[in-house]
Amino acid sequence: MSERTRSKSKTAGADSYSAVTVLKYNGTVTQTVPEGSGSFFRYSEDTEMIDTVTPGFKNLSRQGKIVNNAMRKTTVNRVLAKGNCAYSFHNVADTRYTGVTSGTFHPPGYWSSSFLPDPVANDLESLKAQAITSAWSRANPSETDSLVSLMELDDTVVGLVRIFLKLQKIVSYVRRKKWQRLKELITLREMTNVWMEARYGIRPLYYDALKIINAYHKMSTLRPIRRTSRGRASETEICADTVGTLTLTQEYSGLWFESVWDRTTRSTITARAGVLADYRPTLEQLWGLSLDSVPRSAWEVVPLSFVIDWFINLGDVITSLTPVENREVLASWVTVTHTLEQSMFGQDIKSVTGCPAYPYALTDIGGYSGTAIKTTISKVRTPNPDRPWLPSIRFKLDVLKLIDLLIIIKQQAGAFRV
């Protein structure tokens, strides 16, 4: 095997720019000064990829052999929007001297590394560990968790009976028009209890039924399978700041002015992992009744274990480190993609004093603006990464889970109240 480096560049969207300044005395044009003209590319892309070359790759793939190599790829996109300027100025000492500047200009190199720096990944290792652990926790041939269903059968039956009795009472009160009794029954506490029973009683029961049906269909055709288990972890950060103040000078008129450029940065890091394996599942493994299902099932029946998994991937770690019978791992990998989107916007704010020979001042800012956007996509693929032995901190909370968490906290606080 050998390593090779490939790179390519492309540009698109040629655009032209030109601006002119007209100086007057008592309304009569005395001088016309072109600021310059030219063309530039509104879009450019640079790509560099470093990968490992395996001789006879196509023949090996046709033979069913696995080729699992490292790869590193970086793509940088730059988009420049043509700037516009339209402002007026006059001589402070003698207002008979005036000037007007208008037209378009070529955005300078504001997308360079000094203003839009290359990406820096902060939480890279934690996201990689979460994705790898998640992929390995799915690397088993089980179609359903029968052990968990059996251990929670009593609670499931009691919950269903409770829901049935509540619905029976509500229907009875409505038919008999006992609105006061109905009002006493439908309280905030009862509504939260019904919410939790629906979310963590009826909904899991529905998915368990689908898994049982799927396992039943596969039971009659039990055969070796090849499967890729995948895991994913992602994090996005958005921030805004001021890059700085750039001083622009027009030497022919002595007019100086400042332009403040604001920057918005959106950083997204995504780790994707995979485990490719061959399985020769047994009937017990298919139904989740084998010995390798015990650690996972034991964690599932721990009270509020699902809440712990919202903040720490302890359940995934336990499952990923459990040996699985009749499993032959062929390859594993993790790919980390870091996308950094940066945009800058500049706007004229004021003139700069300090040019006494030509004491001009702005009188009308019709507009001075420019935009620069830079997107950097960095992708790194690592074959056969080590499995993490320690859990990672994470926050898997959406709106519904946040509601659940508040209800659980309230219920637990009430349970410990004396």
- One-letter amino acid identity for 31? Q
Average pLDDT on 371-391 reads: 87
What local confidence, expressed as pLDDT, does residue 367 receive? 53
Tally Cβ neighbours within 10 Å of residue 395. 9
- The burial of 149, by beta-carbon neighbours within 10 Å (0-12 exposed, 13-18 middle, 19 or more buried), is given as buried
- Please, is 404 exposed, middle or buried when counting C-beta atoms within 10 Å of its C-beta (0-12, 13-18, 19+)? buried
Higher-scoring residue by pLDDT: 355, 166: 166
Q: What is the pLDDT of residues 134-172, one digit of tens each?
A: 999 999 988 888 888 777 777 777 777 777 887 788 788
Weakest-pLDDT range from 11-20, 190-199, 343-352, 375-384: 343-352
What pLDDT score was predicted for residue 252? 42
Question: What are the two backbone dihedrals, phi and then psi, of residue 325, each rounded to the nearest 5 degrees?
Answer: -70, 150
Q: Identify which has the larger pLDDT, 196 or 89.
A: 196
Choose the weakest-confidence range: 328-342, 354-368, 399-413: 354-368
Closest C-alpha among 359, 366, 367, 365 to residue 95: 359
Mean pLDDT lowest for which of 167-181, 211-225, 346-360, 365-379? Answer: 346-360
CB contact at 8 A, 74 and 119? no
pLDDT at 353: 44
The full DSSP string for 64-99 is T------EEEEEEEEEEEEEEEEEEEEESS-TTEEE
Name residue 242's beta-bridge partners. Answer: 262
Q: Which residue would you say has higher pLDDT here, 121 or 282?
A: 282
- DSSP output for 113-166: TTTSPPP--SSHHHHHHHHHHHHHHT-S--S--HHHHHHTHHHHHHHHHHHHHH
| DSSP letter (8 states) at residue 384 | S
Q: How many whole angstroms separate alpha carbon 242 and alpha carbon 264?
A: 9
Q: Where are the beta strands (DSSP E) in 26-65?
A: 28-53
**Which of 51-55, 344-348, 388-392, 406-410 is predicted most confidently?**
388-392
Q: Is the pLDDT of residue 347 over 70?
A: no
Over the stretch 250-289, which tens digit does the pLDDT of each residue have?
A: 444 445 555 566 778 888 889 999 999 999 988 888 888 8
pLDDT in tens, 220-245: 778 888 899 999 999 888 887 776 55
User: Which of 18-22, 55-59, 229-233, 414-418 is modeled with the greatest confidence?
Assistant: 229-233
